[in-house]
Chains A and B, each alone.
Chain A
């Protein structure tokens, strides 16, 4: 198993750098994971990450892209409730890249 080290503490990850234990997640880890994805975290990024974590806590799965865009639209205004906005923040796809930074398991399937 791979691992990452943040502030002197070691965190176990899978082959692609997703956290194995989502309870270990904290904002420093998120910043570290974002850096490894070449993403500089802004307030806009955090809005998405926080929503993902809240949703996961309730449903035990990441939200559908459409659910995510709608929630962001409601919170931040309709012009931001689009997949373009989310791809702008997370170029490799809001589903997989944002989940990684949020410490959630990678969604896999026919997606």
Chain B
């Protein structure tokens, strides 16, 4: 791994020179039979895969009108072509979003449009051959579903949805990706992406209580499975396991402690992340989300708060309501969803993001900070794609951009922005999102980080930035790995609540 060299920074960030075939290959590891079968997918490709794949495509087109519109509406204007971090970093023309989508669009035309059925060559329609299927597997795992290209599409084509559909078709014929499918299996079996069993969680949390006591002299609790707690915190399992993630978990606990909020984690539902989104599979998305509803009902909580996890917040904000009954809009005939609706306290936003929770408490003057504790840092903020482009905070447009920044300004003195062409809704993906955060994709991850690294380098050189805060477990893990490859210290990345944790004064109010 250590021999992966980063691409050079661009002097002028314009459309890069094309290198056709630069990222051709076999793609990530293919999921083995056992992992696929545990999710109800065929174990591997079988002889009838072609007909099954086309049938699945027809099924998706009939269920999702959006997909059909995205297949038909593209005029190949090229507005998206240079907006993708993977294209910029790899220079492979098939990583232009328009070209990557056309891998599917050409098959769509062949089987689902009249001109494509009659004159395939004239309209660029292709048979779904094994070569095409392999190409799908390779290039649809070089898209992080970050939707930056969609911001620039004049037709509003959600390219992530095309990638999701492709992966869904691949899974339906037993050609899934090992990393994502293995992780989903662990959620079903153990309750979180990492596969941390309850006793390991409790051991880790007890250790954190000791550490915080040692550092602050205060008994900050990390409660597990407490019935009748007010808040159920659902956070990515990386927060229990990895650096720097765990420092944000300490931050959440200190905020709950300082505000006298009774809260709990759940050992059964110990994962905010939902890789069902990444593979575009509604049943998996729903089954994973259901664990949260079950935990909320069993523990009798009044509020559900989500920790620092990008795609989890997208799922929570956009889909939990109809999936599970957290938030408005549950099916009136779904008894448990209705039960949860009644149980939750609707004076609060359901669900709330931990940043919304903390910002509310700051505005209510319930938290005290010593901002000088973060004076060793010049801080910038990396907008995580799923928060920036797939959700909201604070109930007003742009709240998802303001609130994390407001918190940073409340807890630290030195904050600067990165280039505006790469932040807010135009932020670049870290390079590891959408189910690509696996070592077998390290090459594409390093290359995809290029545009973000360029702008981080700029604020480092011009403003002395030495800390990039974000609110996504994938961003944190990806940057920890790729920062050193680009010449930065891996500790330059950290969470917003890590900064909160540094500055918060316990026992003052």
Chain B residue with Cβ nearest A56 = B200
Shortest CB distance B476–A (Å): 8
Interface size class of A (residues with CB under 8 A): 20 to 34
The listed residue (A15, A66, A67, A83) touching B29 by CB distance below 8 A is: A15
Stretch at the interface among A4-12, A21-29, A90-98: A90-98
Q: Within 8 Å CB of B24, what residues of A? A: none
Give the chain B neighbours of A109 by CB distance below 8 A.
Answer: 183, 186, 192-195, 236-238, 241, 273
Q: Check B197 against A111 for contact (C-beta < 8 Å).
A: no
Q: Look across to chain A and name the residue whose beta carbon is closest to the beta carbon of B437.
A: A110
A67→B236 contact, CB < 8 A: no
Q: B507 to chain A: closest CB distance in Å?
A: 24
- Partner pick for B440 among A16, A67, A110, CB 8 A cutoff: A16
What residue of chain B has the Cβ atom nearest to residue A91's Cβ? B2
Which positions in B face A, CB cutoff 8 Å? 1-2, 29, 178-179, 182-183, 186, 192-197, 199-200, 203-204, 207-208, 211, 236-238, 240-243, 245-246, 273, 309, 437-440, 473-474, 476-477, 481
Are A65 and B438 in touch, CB under 8 angstroms? no
CB distance from A100 to the nearest CB of B (A): 11
Give A residues with C-beta under 8 Å from B. 15-16, 58-61, 63-67, 70, 83, 91-93, 95-96, 107-111
- Interface Cβ pair total, 8 Å cutoff: 87
Chain A residues whose C-beta falls within 8 Å of the C-beta of B194 in the assembled complex: 61, 107-109, 111
Checking A67, A83, A95 against B203 with a beta-carbon cut-off of 8 angstroms, the contacting residue is: A67
Taken together as a complex, chains A and B put the C-alpha atoms of A66 and B2 apart, in Å, by 24
The 7 A-B residue pairs whose C-beta atoms are closest, nearest first, are: A109-B193, A109-B194, A110-B473, A59-B200, A111-B242, A110-B238, A64-B241
Which residues of chain B come closer than 8 Å to A61, judged between CB atoms?
194-197, 200
Q: Which residue of B lies closest to A69 (CB)?
A: B243
- Given known contacts A108-B183, A109-B183, A110-B437, A64 and B240 CB-to-CB distance under 8 angstroms: yes
Chain B residues whose C-beta falls within 8 Å of the C-beta of A95 in the assembled complex: 241-242
